[in-house]
Amino acid sequence: VAARTAAMGFNRLVDRHIDARNPRTRARELPAGKLSPLAVGALVAASSALFVFGAYRLGPLCAWLAPLVLAVLLGYSYAKRFTALAHVWLGLALGLAPLGAWLAVRGRFDGGIAAPLLLSAAVVAWVAGFDVLYACQDQAFDREAGLHSIPARLGIARALRVSEALHVAAFALLAAFAVRGGLSYGTAVALALAALLLVWQHRLVRPDDLSRLDLAFFTLNGWIGFVLLAGVGADLFLRGRPA
């Protein structure tokens, strides 16, 4: 929670002047004057400190890695200023979470890390894919402002194909994670439902019609997360029960 708060607050802080120029984002709290940069900066500093302290309490390896993770999280806010692969950077920022959870429990890298690595890679591809979708609505503004994104670079139609490819990769990596982790029927059902939700997501968004983008981006991706959590959680619960 602390890391996410720091990252979200920092993004709003460094993008406040860009947000003020974008019709879609000019009503956000900072450009609208509802919050001061000083207050948001204080929140970012406090959240960052809490994240580093929490990592320190987990053990030496987590403590050493925490500043690097924080650099990735905060660095994302500048990515679109110089690379169209900012979507992948965002995916990496979120994809570090499974590895972080693994290290929080284990306290070290060991031979069992293959499964969380696959899960992290799946998160990278999944997040990058839906962030490409979300960026389609800002294609014209990004080009005008000199910002980088896949829709701004390739156009919306080709960007949608890139998003589809990333989500195919995400599904394949999730399936590999399920196999490597020895998961069973609950995860299989969850993967099938997640695949249907991904297909639905891409059917909602067309190059000439972005009106249902919020449903595709916010609602369906939220469902995918809950479905996967429920499926994997059910498998782990049943695995722990006596025969």
Query: Element (H or E) spanning 231, and its range?
Result: helix 221-240
C-alpha 23/C-alpha 212 separation (Å) is 18
149 touches 87 (CB < 8 A): yes
Provide the pLDDT for residue 171.
Answer: 98
- List the pLDDT tens digit at each of the 243 positions of the chain: 999 999 999 999 999 999 999 999 999 999 999 999 999 999 999 999 999 999 999 999 999 999 999 999 999 999 999 999 999 999 999 999 999 999 999 888 887 889 999 999 999 999 999 999 999 999 999 999 999 999 999 999 999 999 999 999 999 999 999 999 888 999 999 999 999 999 999 999 999 999 999 999 999 999 999 999 999 999 989 887 554
Q: What amino acid is encoded at 152 in this protein?
A: A
The CATH number, out of the four listed (1.10.3720.10, 1.10.472.10, 1.20.120.1780, 3.90.1150.10), of the domain defined by the range 80-243? 1.20.120.1780
pLDDT confidence of residue 241: 59
* Alpha-carbon gap, residue 217 to 22, rounded angstroms: 19
- Asked whether this chain's domains 1-79 and 80-243 adopt the same fold, the reply is no
Q: Does domain 1-79 have CATH number 3.30.2080.10?
A: no
Sequence ranges of the domains in the chain: 1-79, 80-243
Q: Where do runs of H (alpha helix) occur along 107-184?
A: 114-135, 139-145, 150-154, 156-180
Query: Across the chain, where does the E strand assignment appear?
Result: none
CA torsion through residues 235, 164, 221, 149, sign: positive
Question: Residue 206 phi/psi, 5° resolution?
Answer: -130, 155
